[in-house]
C-alpha cells in the first residue's frame, strides 16, 4: 500500500464539527503534565521515514490486518463486499487496493486480526468521553492532549474541540503538533491552549525535505512565533541516527531554539515500536538504521546551551 501522507482531511465547517480519529488513549503519562486523555487525529502533511504511527498519515479510515493473529478461518472472505480477501493455501490473502475500510470483516474476526483505524466522531462525543476522567485530571494536574498525525490538518474540528474542552469544560488542554501549517491556522488555536508540544526535527531545509517529504520554513517560522508568545511550549526533538544526531546538527538546532526563546526540550529517541503497524497496513517501513541515537551527547549539547532537557522513555 502506498502511503498517503499528503492526503487532506475532509472539508469541515464550524456548524458540523466532526473529525477522523484513530485512537483515544486514557491514563496517558507522556503527553503533557499529569494523567491525561490523548486524542489522536488522522492525517499528516509529513511522511517522516521513522514515523511510529503510520496509521496516522492518511486522513482516511484504514483497515489494519495483523497476520500473526489470523486463524485463516475465512470468515472475512465471506463478509467482505469488495472481495479484498481470498483464501489461499492455509492462509488468507489481503489486497489493500480493493479495501475501502468499511469494517464489514471486523466483527466476525474472533481473534482481533482486523480492525479499522479511523472513525468520524463529533466534538460532543469526545468531550463526553474524556470528561468522565475529570477527577483524575484534577487530582493529577492532567487534562486532554490532541495529537496525531497532525491535528492542524483538521483545523476546524480541532478548533471546535479545543474550544469546548478548554473554554466550556474547563480542562487543561495541550496540542502536540509539528506546526506544519500557516501561522493564522495555529494562532487561532492558542486562546484555547495551556501547552504546546512542538515537534522540531531539523533546521536544514534540504535535509528536512529529504527525510520528511516537506520543507520546514513554515515550521521554523511558527516555532519563532510560539517562542515569542506567552504560551507554555515544550519542544520535542525526535533523535534519529543519520538524520539529526550529529554534533553540528545538534548545535545548530540548539542555537535556533535559544534564539527563538524556546528553552525546554524533550528528546524522543528513535525506536522500532511501530514496525508491526506497517505490516498491518501493507506498508513498507522506509528506514533502515542499525546504530543507536546519540542521546547522551544530545543531552550535553542542549544543556550546555542553557536548555532544560529531558529524555522521553518509551
* Same-domain check for residues 209 and 96: no
Residue 13 is given by DSSP the state B
* Same-domain check for residues 102 and 131: no
Identify whether 3 is part of a domain. Answer: no
* Same-domain check for residues 112 and 162: no
d(CA 257, CA 238): 15
Cβ count near 47 (within 10 Å): 17
* Same-domain check for residues 113 and 134: no
* Same-domain check for residues 175 and 68: no
Span 193-210, average pLDDT: 98
Question: For residue 96, what pLDDT is reported?
Answer: 80
* Same-domain check for residues 143 and 248: yes
**CA 256 → CA 71, 127, 240, distances in Å?**
52, 37, 18
Burial of 88 (0-12, 13-18, 19+ CB in 10 A): exposed
* Same-domain check for residues 189 and 111: no
Total domain count, the chain: 2
Question: For residue 5, what pLDDT is reported?
Answer: 33
pLDDT for 288-309, tens place per residue? 888 899 999 999 999 999 999 9
* Same-domain check for residues 77 and 170: no
* Same-domain check for residues 172 and 131: yes
Q: Is the peptide bond before 149 cis (omega within 30 degrees of 0)?
A: yes
The residue range of the domain holding 109 is 62-117
| Structural contact between residues 36 and 144, judged by C-beta atoms closer than 8 angstroms | yes
At residue 7, the 3 state secondary structure works out as coil
d(CA 283, CA 247): 33
* Same-domain check for residues 35 and 66: no
Question: For residue 81, what pLDDT is reported?
Answer: 93
Tell me the torsion sign for CA atoms 205, 208, 210, 213: negative
Q: What percent of the chain has pLDDT over 90?
A: 83
Identify whether 54 is part of a domain. Answer: no
Identify whether 109 is part of a domain. Answer: yes
Identify whether 4 is part of a domain. Answer: no
Identify whether 167 is part of a domain. Answer: yes
Cell readout for 35 is 494523567
Residue 134 is given by DSSP the state H
Residue 312 is given by DSSP the state -
Q: Which of 117, 133, 157 is at the close of a domain? A: 117
Q: Which of 74, 96, 117 is at the close of a domain? A: 117
pLDDT band at 78 (very low <50, low <70, confident <90, very high): very high
* Same-domain check for residues 265 and 156: yes
d(CA 4, CA 55): 10
* Same-domain check for residues 71 and 40: no
pLDDT for 87-118, tens place per residue? 887 778 888 888 889 999 999 998 999 999 99
Identify whether 8 is part of a domain. Answer: no
Question: For residue 91, what pLDDT is reported?
Answer: 79
Amino acid at each position: 500500500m502506498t502511503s498517503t501522507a499528503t492526503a487532506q482531511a475532509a472539508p469541515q465547517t464550524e456548524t458540523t464539527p466532526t473529525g477522523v480519529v484513530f485512537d483515544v488513549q486514557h491514563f496517558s503519562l507522556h503527553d503533557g503534565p499529569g494523567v491525561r486523555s490523548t486524542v489522536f487525529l488522522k492525517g499528516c502533511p509529513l511522511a517522516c521515514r521513522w514515523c511510529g504511527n503510520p496509521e496516522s498519515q492518511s486522513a482516511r479510515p484504514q483497515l489494519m490486518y495483523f497476520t500473526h493473529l489470523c486463524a485463516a478461518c475465512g470468515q472475512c472472505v465471506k463478509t467482505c463486499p469488495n472481495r479484498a480477501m481470498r483464501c489461499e493455501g492455509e492462509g488468507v490473502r489481503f489486497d489493500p487496493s480493493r479495501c475501502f475500510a468499511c469494517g464489514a470483516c471486523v466483527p466476525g474476526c474472533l481473534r482481533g486480526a482486523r480492525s479499522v483505524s479511523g472513525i468520524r466522531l463529533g466534538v460532543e462525543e469526545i468531550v463526553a468521553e474524556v470528561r468522565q476522567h475529570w477527577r483524575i485530571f484534577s487530582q493529577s494536574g492532567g487534562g486532554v492532549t490532541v495529537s496525531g498525525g497532525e491535528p492542524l490538518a483538521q483545523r476546524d474540528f480541532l478548533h471546535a474541540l479545543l474550544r469546548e474542552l478548554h473554554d466550556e469544560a474547563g480542562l487543561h488542554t495541550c496540542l502536540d503538533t509539528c506546526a506544519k501549517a500557516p501561522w493564522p491556522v495555529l494562532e487561532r488555536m492558542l486562546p484555547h491552549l495551556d501547552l504546546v508540544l512542538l515537534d522540531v526535527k531539523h533546521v536544514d531545509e534540504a535535509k528536512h525535505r529529504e527525510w520528511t517529504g516537506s520543507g520546514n520554513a513554515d515550521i521554523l517560522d511558527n516555532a519563532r512565533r510560539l517562542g515569542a508568545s506567552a504560551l507554555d511550549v515544550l519542544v520535542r526533538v525526535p533523535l534519529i541516527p543519520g538524520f539529526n544526531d550529529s554534533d553540528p546538527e545538534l548545535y545548530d538546532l540548539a542555537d535556533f531554539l535559544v534564539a527563538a526563546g524556546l528553552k525546554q526540550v524533550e528528546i524522543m529517541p528513535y525506536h522500532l515500536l511501530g514496525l508491526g503497524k506497517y505490516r498491518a497496513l501493507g506498508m513498507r517501513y522506509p528506514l533502515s538504521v542499525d546504530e543507536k541515537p546519540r542521546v547522551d551527547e544530545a543531552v550535553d549539547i542542549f544543556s550546555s546551551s542553557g536548555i532544560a532537557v529531558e529524555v522521553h522513555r518509551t
